[in-house]
Amino acid sequence: MSNWKKVFSSSQLAVASMVSGILMEQKIQTNVLNKIDSSYVFLGEVEVYVSAADYENALLIVKDFQI
């Protein structure tokens, strides 16, 4: 994932999925990496990554996203 940069992370899978969906609506491809522990769901985060080329544009979009 060297060409991918993290633009968002959340402890809630649903929130990260919404951010991913918003980015994909803007034609920005995303990868969602779920780092939440399967035994202890309160541990870990879900991270949203975009390509390095889309990083700046994605940051502007995510900046306006409120939980």
For the chain, percent of residues with pLDDT exceeding 70: 94
What value does the mean pLDDT take over residues 1-15? 90
DSSP 43-63: S--EEEEEEGGGHHHHHHHHH
Q: Please name the fold of domain 4-63.
A: Alpha-Beta Plaits (3.30.70)
Q: Which residues contact 49 (CB under 8 A, 6 or more apart)?
A: 1, 4, 5, 6, 7, 30, 31, 32, 33
Q: For the chain, what are the domain ranges?
A: 4-63
User: Which pLDDT belongs to residue 36?
Assistant: 85
